[in-house]
Structure 1
Amino acid sequence: MLKNPFKAALASRKPLIGLWLNMADAYAASMAGQAGFDWLVIDGEHGPNDLRSVLHQLQALESSPSFPVVRLPVGEKWMIKQFLDIGAQTLLIPMVDTREQAEALVRAVRYPPYGERGMGAAVARASRFNTIDDYAQAADREVCLLVQAETRQALENLDAILSVDGVDGVFIGPADLAADMGFAGQLDAEPVQQAIEAALVKITAAGKPAGILTFDENLNKRYLSLGAQFVAVGGDVTEFVTALRRLASRYGRGVGAENGKGY
């Protein structure tokens, strides 16, 4: 019951195509879960999620073939403990810039004596409310920790971050990286792309899965060709808004519609 299918899929080295969930809604998550994506990110950093809304989405995705990944707002130990207890098995932590941060995150997702996770899962969904024998030992094996490298500092420290035992994958955050490099909103800037591609190659050469998110199909295919393994190719909000605007425009309504002529 504790097997983490996303972690197992990463070990297979097969490419995994994902979608970002920012609607913070269990019904929307259920729909996305049947669309055919390999993995789905329940976004607690930029989506209006809290502990209960993430819980409801995890419950909604229990019967889905898509693997849920939960992105926390920050990598705080108390927050990690709570999200693991509600049943999140794969965590994506933003803004990890140093080896020391990565090591602290590994300790936060593991039980003593190997880590610092609090022993409270007996009353939590994660242990099926204390019906899983040896939950603590099994949980340490099955938790999947993904860290985001999305600053110049993170790329400078990438070798050190990759050397941390317990980091199961490194995800490049292209938008924040571009901004930190002085190219806010210019993901296609040559220095940004050079930095991203070099990082992806370095991550895969170190034997760890590399991930990334963009809404550009050509870039995503390029990253896959470089060895990126878990690639998110869009988001529920952007796809929903685009579809609605397209529909409204056919009737001369919406943004860009002029004199009843549409786009």
Structure 2
Amino acid sequence: MAASDVLNGFRQRILDREQLIGFWNCLTGSVTMEIAGLAGYDWLLLDSEHSPTSLPLLMAQLQTLNGSTAATVGRPAENNPVMIKQLLDIGFYNLLIPFIESADDARKAVSATRYPPHGIRGVAGAHRSNRYGSIANYNQVINDSICVLLQIESVKGIEAFDDILAVEGVDGIFIGPSDLSAALGHLGNPNHPDVQRVIRDLHDRAQAAGKATGILAPIQADAKRYLEWGFNFVAVGTDLGVFKQAVFGLRDAFR
């Protein structure tokens, strides 16, 4: 198995700051995941922060997506080295790590994704990520194949933003609009002008630092605006939201 077989094409596209359209998955079914995988998105987020998804289920969902062309991005419940290690071992190459508030938080996240001496990731002989030990050079190339995306969603994260951007190994910044709007005193209203100004400012500063920016925008008008601003990886919908909208819309059509 050549090194090129484990290099992460999605990470390179993030580093190149391409515009990539994604879809957010928080339902626990494999069928909905399989359908999302057939839709042709650039990337799919598999969430374990705001969903009841367990580690075995995440692995099963990854297996369901084996035939999909979409890159998979895993979100652990917290910036926890053990959780991050588990997600890496079951086959995630791309991680979106929530609630980063300092450069130390950013360094902790990056370190958890790297084998020593560059980090603290635990070494296992055979797991799904190294195809159960069949990738002979996995240990030598995997550190450069993991994409680290950090989520900014608090006032502390805003205050430490430039320091976070400067941490080596941070590939991109994701802005959490719901938590960010709550932190700024506008719970449930990410489109408030004050919140939008902060989102635009964070995006511009990240771009100036050479970092890709991402956001979740399940309302089409919002997604188009963020793409026009130059955001790089935008999730334009969620499985729960699309299902709810379709079911309620169908009901309303027959009332």
Instruction: State whether structure 2 residue 179 is matched by structure 1 residue 176.
Output: yes
* 1:220 CA drift (Å): 1.7
Please name the residue that 2:144 is paired with.
141
Please name the residue that 1:224 is paired with.
227
Q: Distance in 1 between matches of 2:91 and 2:169?
A: 19
Q: Distance in 2 between matches of 1:157 and 1:181?
A: 15
* 1:5 CA drift (Å): 2.3
Within 5 Å, give how 1:25-64 maps onto structure 2. 25-64=29-68
Please name the residue that 2:130 is paired with.
127
Q: Distance in 2 between matches of 1:14 and 1:125?
A: 28
* 1:216 CA drift (Å): 2.3
* 1:250 CA drift (Å): 2.0
Larger Rg: 1
RMSD of equivalent CA atoms: 1.0
| TM-score, structure 2 normalization | 0.96
Greater relative contact order (CA < 8 Å, ≥ 6 in sequence): 2
**1:99–1:160 Cα contact (<8 Å) kept:** yes
Percent identical pairs in the alignment equals 39
**2:85–2:121 Cα contact (<8 Å) kept:** yes
- Structure 1 runs of 4+ off > 6 angstroms? none
* 1:251 CA drift (Å): 2.1
**1:24–1:42 Cα contact (<8 Å) kept:** no
| TM-score, structure 1 normalization | 0.93
Deviations 1:10-47 (A, max 9, x none): 13322001110011222211100111211110011111
Please name the residue that 2:238 is paired with.
235
* 1:54 CA drift (Å): 0.6
Q: Distance in 1 between matches of 2:192 and 2:103?
A: 28
- Number of aligned residues: 251
3-state secondary structure, aligned to 2:185: coil
Within 5 Å, give how 1:196-207 maps onto structure 2. 196-207=199-210
